[in-house]
Copies of this chain bind each other. A is one copy, B any other.
Amino acid sequence: MSMRKICVVITARPSYSRIKTALKAIKEHPKLQLQLVVAGSALLGRYGNAVDYIESDGFKIDAKVFMVLEGENKTSMAKTTGLGVMELANTFYNLKPDAVVTIADRFETLATSIAASYQNIPLIHIQGGEVTGNIDEKVRHANTKLADIHLVASEDAKERVLKLGEDKDYVFNTGCPSIDIAFKVNQTPKLNFNPIEKYGGVGSNINWQNGYIVVMQHPVTTEYTKAKESVLSTLRAVHKLGIPTFWFWPNVDAGADGTSNGIRSYREIHKPRNIHFFKNMLPEDFLRLLINSQCLVGNSSVGIRECAYLGVPVVNIGTRQHGRARGVNVIDVSYEEEAIEKAIVDRVKQKRPIISDAIYGKGNSGEKIADILAEVELRFHKTISY
């Protein structure tokens, strides 16, 4: 029997981190052949050069697809997606995969879904059924409706995908592969590197050895013009508290430049002495940094997902993770400076360890995904199940 060609499309750095153990498991599975497409912001230096990490992790890239349109607005998100459909249609036409994998809910993932489903290539959606409440959620559920097979990350999500009219024989709860990495890192949790020495970054050379917090705050798409304002609240709160802080730049989105410019201008003017800025970090190093931190601040899904498993306290700001199942480790706050400040103080004082919560899996998701991809019937013809 010839191997099934599974084409996975990575369009952004965080998607890669989330899917990495599944990629490895697919690559090593005797019945599967991995076709890896790296596209969109995952190819671009100013969004963290995910492509370099992918290659240095030993993956062979079958196609690189440049599709990001500059524009600093929502129109460019739409046009990037349109261009992505055109480019990925070509890519799949040439690679002739047996199935295509699209991941989660970023706007450009719909390009993968259209390019595959319109060409009658069985489409597998990873991490459907979650709730976030803005364009991301629309995209996620649209991906579900175009997809033939669903690999979801929690029971909660599975139930939602079934309600969306999908056939239960094609919906599988595999957990989230990001937990696989957290699981492995958690075996040897000690911080085994000096972050500033290893990653450089800019800003103050903070004294982090006696405790620090981590901030990662992304722009929220539907509040485009407020992106700058929102990040400034967090900056002022963190600056005022004076706790040594590692701050990570956001990834691309409409509004990324609002957030990035907010951070950049605050830095230039106020030169906050307790904050050091990084562009990005190897996922394993990032998780170890979190395990050893006093808390994570911002709106990253890492706070909801990996930190639940790892028992790291989280201050979750705003609506970005709205509606997702969360563990006891999380406090939700609005964009108000005082609320953020108060919540950070609360979380830093939180008695450790917090109990680990396995809602997003137990560390074997990558293998589960590969096994299902090897065995599931690859259909491309479906109808609603009610």
List residues of A whose CB falls within 8 A of some B CB: 41, 43-46, 63, 66-79, 81-87, 89-90, 93-94, 107, 110-111, 113-115, 117-120, 131-135, 137-139, 141-142, 144-146, 160, 163-165, 202, 222, 257, 261, 268, 322-323, 380-384, 386
Partner of A71, one of B44, B115, B144: B44
A interface SS class: helix
Per the bound structure, the CA–CA distance linking A386 and B135 in Å amounts to 17
Instruction: Decide: B78 and A71 in contact? CB cutoff 8 A.
Output: no
Find out whether the CB atom of A131 lies under 8 angstroms from the CB atom of B384: yes
Q: How far is the CA of A120 from the CA of B386 in the complex (A)?
A: 30
Q: Of residues A132, A137, A381, which shows the largest number of chain B Cβ atoms within 10 Å of its Cβ?
A: A381
- Contact of A72 (CB < 8 Å), options: B45, B94, B160: B45
Q: Quick one: closest B residue to A265, CB to CB? A: B200
User: Does B89 lie within 8 Å of A86, measured CB to CB?
Assistant: no
Report Cα–Cα, A367/B46, bound state, in Å: 43
Residue of B nearest to A268 (CB): B202
Q: Which of B41, B89, B113, B383 contacts A131 (CB 8 A)?
A: B383
Chain B contacts of A94 at CB under 8 A?
Answer: 63
| Least CB separation from A140: chain B residue | B145
Q: Given A135-B120, A145-B145, A163-B163, answer yes or no on A75-B93 (Cβ-Cβ < 8 Å).
A: yes
User: A73: nearest residue on chain B (CB-CB)?
Assistant: B66
- Smallest CB separation, A223 vs chain B (Å): 10
CA distance A202 to B135 in the complex (A): 37
11 additional A-B pairs beyond A43-B71, A144-B145, beta carbons within 8 Å, are A44-B72, A66-B73, A77-B118, A82-B82, A82-B84, A82-B111, A90-B90, A138-B146, A142-B142, A142-B145, A160-B386
Whole-angstrom CA separation of A163 from B123 in the bound complex:
23
Query: A40: shortest Cβ distance to chain B, in Å?
Result: 9
